[in-house]
Amino acid sequence: MMQCPRCGQPLTDPRPSACPNCGLPLAPQSPSPTPPAEAAWSEASQNPPPYPQYQYPAPGYGQQPPSMPYPPPASYGQQPASAPYPPPAGYGQQPPSMPYPPPAGYGQQPPSMPYPPPAGFGQPPSMPYPPAGYGQPPSGQFVPPGGPGIWPQPQAPAPSRNSSPLIIGITLAIVVVIVAAVLGIVITRGNSSTTQISGAPTATLGPNATPLPTATTAPAVTVLFKDPLTSNVNGWSSDTYCYFANNGYHVVGGAICYAPTNQVGNAVVSVDAKQASGSDLQPYGLVVRRVSKGNFYIFEIDSTGQWDFGISVSNQFNELVNPTFNSALKTGLGAKNTLKVVMQGSDFTFFANGVQVGTFSDTTFTAGDTGVAGGLSGTVDVFNNFEIDQAN
């Protein structure tokens, strides 16, 4: 509700021309503004951009000032005109007062001292060396024996004795000794065929010493079977596991291939063996005294330099000698080792390349077949020069 601005009387007429109380003329009110049509409404008119008086970035921002043309003038950054470039001739060189190169003789010895120095340079001119009469007694102070002015003359050395006879005598004595020694050796050798040694010398052994074995006569050996194993001339097994190839008998995948011979008990069995392929930890070697399937002894080596001795009873294998390293064994794939087993009763002696590597005693099997055994799956072993000897 409107009020009169003069008297404050409420005005009931919304559009009075004058206040009915005090008579103050009142101007008619303008009608309420009509909002524009929706089609003329624009978001820009309602949300003007902030700070319209600024532009970002300002024109010319980051460019060269108008007062400095780009590119710069030709002389910009160069040496001032007052200092010409390059520097004048002679700048930084030797002063004119010292010509370059230096004059002849510059830095050499002064002309007053010639080089090399004259003879006698450095010796005192007033004292000749040695002075005349140096080392002789002054006259009038000493009278030598024999009268004044007479000095004892040096005596001639005493004549040495002639040592030729002594040297000749010593030489003859040495020759006689050598001749006697040679004659003694010849005489001893001439009589050696009839000399008999009654016994060997004895020696005292320490508490921990092992006495040497008594020499015995080697027993006579009879060859029972011998085969170079270069071809199948004796009837060895020939299949996918045991076959001849490349001048050797090949055994594959842990197979045992027996020699075509009779069973033996006390005997010497030997063979040349090498591993052609597979893991170097897989053992291979000689089978002896095989009684039946799954019952035998085996002497084995591997390509790392170990040997062992085992027994199979009813297909149950047991180590009698655990794998043991020995320097007599050659190592690596393709290395050939000569294996030998000597069987006498219950005693077994094992050799590798002519060196005894061990012994063992067992009475389970007394006789049987002999043969060669390869490594486990994935290996190929090659054998040559198989031999069985009977000790009488």
Are 323 and 308 within 8 A, CB to CB? Answer: yes
Give the pLDDT confidence score for residue 174 in this predicted structure: 85
SS3 content of the chain, % helix, strand, coil (to 5): 10, 30, 65
pLDDT at 364 over 90: yes
Give the pLDDT confidence score for residue 390 in this predicted structure: 86
Q: What percent of the chain has pLDDT over 70?
A: 53
Give the pLDDT confidence score for residue 176 in this predicted structure: 77
Strands 337-344 and 295-301: what pairing? unpaired
Task: Give burial (CB, 10 Å; 0-12/13-18/19+) of 172.
Answer: exposed
Please report, for the chain, the start and end positions of each structural domain, with discontinuous segments joined by +.
Answer: 221-391
Helix and strand numbers, DSSP H then E, in the chain: 2, 16
Q: What is the arithmetic mean of pLDDT over 323-334?
A: 94
Higher pLDDT, 59 or 320: 320
Average pLDDT across the chain, whole number? 74
Where does the pLDDT of residue 204 fall: very low under 50, low under 70, confident under 90, or very high at 90 and above?
very low
Where does the pLDDT of residue 333 fall: very low under 50, low under 70, confident under 90, or very high at 90 and above?
very high
Give the pLDDT confidence score for residue 201 in this predicted structure: 38
Give the pLDDT confidence score for residue 378 in this predicted structure: 83
Torsion angle (degrees, nearest 10) of CA 345, 347, 350, 354: -70
The encoded tokens of residue 337 equal 């080792």
**CA nearest to 374, candidates 281, 274, 290, 252:** 252
Q: List phi, psi (to 5°) of 180.
A: -65, -40
Higher pLDDT, 208 or 109: 109
Classify domain 221-391 at the CATH superfamily level. Exo-inulinase; domain 1 (2.60.120.560)
Give the pLDDT confidence score for residue 3 in this predicted structure: 72
